[in-house]
Structure 1
Amino acid sequence: MTNEPRTNIGTPTPEELREQVAQTRDELGQTVEALAGKADVKAQAKEKAAAVKEQAAEKTALVTDQIRAAAQQAVQVVKDKTPDPVLDKAAQASEKIVQATSRAGHLAAEKTPDPVLDRANRAATAARANSKPLLAVGAALVVLLLIRRARGRR
């Protein structure tokens, strides 16, 4: 045996022991947090739901953009292939339809009971809110009918 203090031959000093204990506590705390996170099924489900919702929103936006682009391209193709006289006739027919509809609306309003008018006003408000798609569909139908009519005469 030697007369050297035991700390020099491998026995840790009290300060080294305190460091080891502190480090072990930190590691144990991190391990407990990780296990608690894995055990919290509700939090995991919320995270997964949020991720799925975000993916669905991104895909919806992408598909919506693709549909709009395809619709715009289709409209442009129809306009490009439709002769100008047909487009002019479609515009004139559209104007006549607007005028006739307006006249019919005024006549109907004069002879329709108030409760029915209230419901009709609500429906008209909904149609005005979606007027662009309705007008686009109506114009496309008029153009297609005129093209079909013109081809039928040939």
Structure 2
Amino acid sequence: MTQPPHDEPTARSTEELREQVEHTRHELGGTAEALAAGAGVPARAQEKAAELREQAALKAGEVRAKAAEAASRLQEKLPDPVKDTAARTASQARARAARAAQVWQDKAPEPVRVRAAQGASAARDNRGLLLAAGAVVAAWLMFRRKG
């Protein structure tokens, strides 16, 4: 909006001045509505993000529960000799992993060790999610072979 110079009258009559005031009010109301609508967008986006996070957490909980149930059923069906062999193999694998970790610590460059430690920390922090994903993959492989 441009404004006329201050020494010139803006309206020739009172009625014209009222019309200008009403027009200005209308424009200002539209501008205020547009600003209010624009201000609501970030708030709505944050609400939607919170809603999606909640849905994702619920779904992750469901997946974890199903994976734990599948793992439990699988473990119940295993014969004792297989369970014993699995326990022995797991123990041997842990021992080999410990030896490999020691070699890694001795020979890996410092920046690589730092990044690996960060990755291991992230994996420990998300252990439940990783275990659930592993169980889901194992269940999927089992069902795929049956079909």
TM-score (ref. length: structure 2):
0.53
2:118 match: 122
Please show how residues 25-36 of structure 1 align to structure 2 within 5 Å: none
Task: Identify the match of residue 113 of structure 1 among 85, 109, 112.
Answer: 109
Q: Which runs of 5+ in 1 are unaligned?
A: 1-31
Task: Identify the match of residue 69 of structure 1 among 37, 43, 62.
Answer: 62
Q: Aligned letter for 1:110? A: D
Is the CA contact (8 Å cut-off) linking 2:105 and 2:113 kept in structure 1? Answer: yes
2:45 is the alignment partner of 1:49? no
Task: Identify the match of residue 133 of structure 1 among 129, 132, 145.
Answer: 129
Q: Which runs of 5+ in 2 are unaligned?
A: 1-24
What CA deviation, in whole Å up to 9, does each residue of 1:59-110 have, x standing for no partner?
3312430232133123303322432435554444333322211111112222
| Cα root mean square deviation, aligned | 3.7
What CA deviation, in whole Å up to 9, does each residue of 1:103-144 have, x standing for no partner?
111122223333433333333333333333334555x38966
Is the CA contact (8 Å cut-off) linking 1:109 and 1:117 kept in structure 2? Answer: yes
Structure 1 or 2, whichever has the larger Rg, is 1
Is the CA contact (8 Å cut-off) linking 1:90 and 1:143 kept in structure 2? Answer: no
Task: Identify the match of residue 97 of structure 1 among 93, 96, 99.
Answer: 93
Percent identity reads: 28
In 2: Cα distance, 1:97 partner to 1:142 partner: 21
In 2: Cα distance, 1:142 partner to 1:43 partner: 48
Distance 1:94 1:58, change over 3 A: same
TM-score (ref. length: structure 1):
0.51
